Structure 1
Amino acid sequence: MKQYSSIQGAHEGRRNFLKVSGGFTLYIGVSGILPGLISCEDRKTIERTLEENPLTAWVRLSPEGDLTILNPAAEMGQGSMTSLPLIFAEEMDADWSRVRVAFSPQETEIYGSPGWAPDTKLMFTVGSRTTNSYFDVMRRAGAEARYILMYTAALHWEVPLEELTTEPGYVLHPASNRQMAYGEVVDKLEIPESIPANLELKSPEFYRLIGRDLQRKEIPEKVDGSAVFAIDVHLPDMVYGVLERGNLHGSAPTLKNETDIAAMDGVLKVVHLDYAIGLVANTLETALEAKKRLQIDWGDAQASGFDSAAAFGDYEQIVSAPETGEVIVDTGDVNKALESANSRLQADFRNDFIYHAQLEPLNAVVRVGADGQEAEAWVGSQQGPDAKLGLPELLGIAPEKVRINLQYLGGGFGRRSMNDFITECALLAKEVAPSPVKLLWTREDDVRYGAFRPMSLQRLRICADSRGSITGLSHCVVGDGGNLVASGIHNDHYNIPNQFAEWRETRHGVRIKHWRSVGHGPNKFAIESTLDLMARELGRDPLELRRELMAESPRALATLEKAAEMADWEAPSPEGRAKGVAFVEHGSLGTGICEISLNRDSGKITVHRFWCAVDPGIAIHPDNIVAQMEGGILMGMSSVLHERISIRDGRVEQSNFNDYQLLRMEDAPEQIETAIIASEEHPEGVGETGTPLVAGAIANAFLKLTGKSLRHLPFTPERVLQVLNNNNA
Structure 2
Amino acid sequence: MSTAPKIVNRREFLKTSSGVALFIGVSGMLPHLISCKDTKGIKQQLQKHELTAWVQITEDGEITIYNPAAEMGQGSMTALPLIFAEEMDADWSRVKVAFSPQEVAIYGSEGWAPGSKLMFTVGSRSTNSYYPVMRKAGAQARYVLLNTAAQHWEVPISELSTNKSFVLHPATNRKISYGELVAVLVLPETIPDFSPEQLKNPKDFQLIGNTIPRAEIPAKVDGSAQFAIDIKLPNMVYGILERGNLHGAKPTLTNEKEILAMDGILKVIPLDYAIGLVAETLEKALEAKKMLKIEWGDAQAIGYDSQEIYPTYEKIANGKNTGKIIQEIGDVNTAMRTATKTYMADFKNDYVYHAQMEPLNAVVQVSANLKNAEVWVGSQQGVDPKLGIPDLLGIPHENVNIHLQYLGGGFGRRSMNDFVIETALLAKEMAPLPVKLMWTREDDIGYGTFRPLSLQRMTASLDKNGTITGFSHTVIGDGGNLVASGSRNDHYDIPNQLVESREASHGIRLKHWRAVGHGPNKFAIECMLDEIAMGQGIDPIALRRKLMAKSPRALATLEKAAEMANWNSPSNEGRAKGVAFVEHGSLGTGICEISVDRSTGKIKVHHFWIALDAGVIVQPDNVKAQMEGGVIMGMSSVLKEQITIVNGRVQQSNFHDYQLLRMQDIPESIETDFIASAERPEGVGETATPMVACAIANAFLQLTGKPLRHLPFTPDRVLQVLNS
TM-score band, normalised by the shorter chain? over 0.9
Paired position in structure 2 for 1:127: 123
Aligned partner of 2:369: which letter? D
* Contact 1:76 1:409 (8 Å CA) reproduced: yes
CA distance in 2, matches of 1:663, 1:51: 54
- Kept in 2: contact 1:156–1:188 (CA 8 A): yes
Deviation, structure 1 residue 343: 2.0
For 1:355, the equivalent position in structure 2 comes to 353
Deviation at 1:19, TM superposition (A): 10
Count of residue pairs the alignment pairs up: 710
User: Structure 1 residues 671, 21: closer, same or farther in 2, change over 3 A?
Assistant: closer
Partners in 2 of 1:603 and 1:244 — Cα distance? 38
Report what 2:216 is aligned to.
Answer: 218
Question: Which of the numbers 65, 78, 83 marks the counterpart of 2:61?
Answer: 65
CA distance in 1, matches of 2:152, 2:333: 73
Q: 1:44 to 1:166 in 2, by over 3 A?
A: closer
From 633, 644, 651, the equivalent of 2:631 is 633
2:25 corresponds to which letter in structure 1? G
1:359-370 alignment runs, 5 A limit? 359-370=357-368
* Aligned residue type for 2:715: P
Deviation at 1:21, TM superposition (A): 4.2
Q: Which residue of 2 aligns with 1:547?
A: 545
> Contact 2:475–2:484 at 8 Å: present in 1 too?
yes
Deviation at 1:36, TM superposition (A): 2.1
Residues 490-526 of structure 1, C-alpha deviations (whole Å, 9 max, x = no match): 1111111110000000111100000000000000000
Secondary structure of residue in 2 paired with 1:264: coil
Q: Is the 8 A contact 1:19 1:25 kept in 2?
A: no
Give the alignment of 1:214-253 within 5 angstroms: 214-253=212-251
* 1:592 aligned onto 2:601: no
Corresponding position of 2:136 = 140
Offset from partner CA, 1:449-471 (integer Å, 9 cap, x none): 01000000000001222222221
Using the size of structure 1 for normalisation, the TM-score is 0.96
Aligned positions of 1:281-360 closer than 5 A? 281-360=279-358
SS where residue 473 of structure 1 aligns?
strand
Could you tell me which amino acid in structure 2 is paired with residue 109 of structure 1?
A: A
Q: Residues 459-478 of structure 1 correspond to what in structure 2 (within 5 A)?
A: 459-478=457-476
Q: Which residue of 1 aligns with 2:160?
A: 164
- Give how far 1:33 is off: 4.5
Query: In structure 2, what is the equivalent of residue 101 of structure 1?
Result: 97
Q: How does 1:591-670 map to 2 (within 5 A)?
A: 591-670=589-668
CA contact (8 A) 1:334 1:498 kept: yes
Check whether the contact 1:30–1:140 (CA below 8 A) recurs between aligned residues. no
Name the counterpart of 1:421.
Answer: 419
Alpha carbons of structure 1 residues 220 and 54: separation in structure 2 relative to 1, 3 Å: same
8 Å CA contact retained: 1:31, 1:195: no
Does the alignment pair 1:500 with 2:504?
no
- What SS does the corresponding residue of 2:111 show, helix, strand or coil? strand
Distance 1:421 1:605 in 2: 37
Measure the CA separation in 2 of the matches of 1:54 and 1:596: 57
Alpha carbons of structure 1 residues 37 and 79: separation in structure 2 relative to 1, 3 Å: same
- SS of residue in 2 equivalent to 1:428: helix
Residues 190-205 of structure 1 aligned to structure 2 (within 5 Å): 190-198=186-194, 200-205=198-203
Asked if structure 1 preserves the Cα contact closer than 8 Å seen for 2:306 and 2:645, the reply is: yes
Separation in structure 2 between the aligned mates of residue 177 and residue 691 of structure 1, nearest angstrom: 53
| Pairwise CA distance, 1:268 | 0.9
Aligned to 2:485: 487
Q: 1:406 aligns with which of 401, 404, 407?
A: 404
Between the aligned partners of 1:51 and 1:690, the Cα distance in structure 2 is 48
C-alpha distance in 1 between matches for 2:242 and 2:32: 49
CA contact (8 A) 1:30 1:144 kept: no
Which residue does 2:108 correspond to in 1? Answer: 112
Letter in 2 for 1:540: I
In the alignment, the residues of structure 1 paired with residue 27 and residue 580 of structure 2 have an alpha-carbon distance, to the nearest angstrom, of 44
Letter in structure 2 aligned against 1:124: F
8 Å contact from structure 2 (residues 579, 695) kept in 1: yes
- One-letter identity of the residue aligned with 1:129: R
Q: Does the Cα contact within 8 Å between 1:392 and 1:399 map onto a contact in 2?
A: yes
Letter in 1 for 2:210: R
| Counterpart contact for 1:18–1:38, Cα < 8 Å | no
- 2:7 aligned residue: none
SS at match of 2:630: helix
Deviation at 1:18, TM superposition (A): 8.5
Q: What residue in structure 2 maps to residue 9 of structure 1?
A: none
- The residue type equivalent to 2:720 in the other structure is Q
Distance of 2:660 and 2:217 partners within structure 1: 25
Q: Alpha-carbon deviation of 1:55? A: 4.1
User: Corresponding residue for 1:155?
Assistant: 151
Q: Is the 8 A contact 2:20 2:35 kept in 1?
A: no
**Structure 1 range deviating more: 243-252 or 193-202:** 193-202
Letter in 2 for 1:82: T
- Give % identity: 68
SS, match of residue 457 in structure 2? strand
Deviation of 1:115 (Å): 2.5
Contact 2:19 2:42 in 1 (8 A): no
1:318/1:47 Cα in 2 relative to 1: closer, same or farther (>3 Å)? Answer: farther
Instruction: Select 1:209's aligned residue among 204, 207, 210.
Output: 207
Q: CA deviation at 1:41?
A: 7.2
Aligned CA RMSD, in angstroms, stands at 1.4
The one-letter amino acid of 2:465's match is: R
Tell me the distance in 2 between the aligned counterparts of 1:117 and 1:197.
Answer: 21
Quote the offset at 1:677 in angstroms.
1.1
Q: Supply the distance in 1 between the matched residues of 2:332 and 2:190 (Cα, whole angstroms).
A: 56
Gaps of 5+ in 1: 1-16
Report what 1:10 is aligned to.
none
Over residues 422-463 of structure 1, what are the superposed CA-to-partner deviations in whole Å (9 max), with x where a residue is unaligned? 110011111111111111000000000010000000000012
Whether contact under 8 Å (1:150, 1:164) holds in the other structure is: yes
Q: 1:636-658, CA deviations, whole angstroms, 9 ceiling, x for partnerless residues?
A: 00000010100000000000000
Counterparts of 1:519-538 in structure 2, within 5 Å, are: 519-538=517-536
Query: What is the distance in 2 between the residues matched to 1:428 and 1:44?
Result: 41
Question: Which of 382, 385, 397 in structure 1 is aligned with 2:383?
Answer: 385
- In 2, Cα distance between the equivalents of 1:552 and 1:34? 40
Cα offset for 1:226? 1.0
Please, what TM-score do these two structures have when normalized by structure 2? 0.96
Distance (whole Å) between structure 2 residues aligned to residue 724 and residue 395 of structure 1: 58
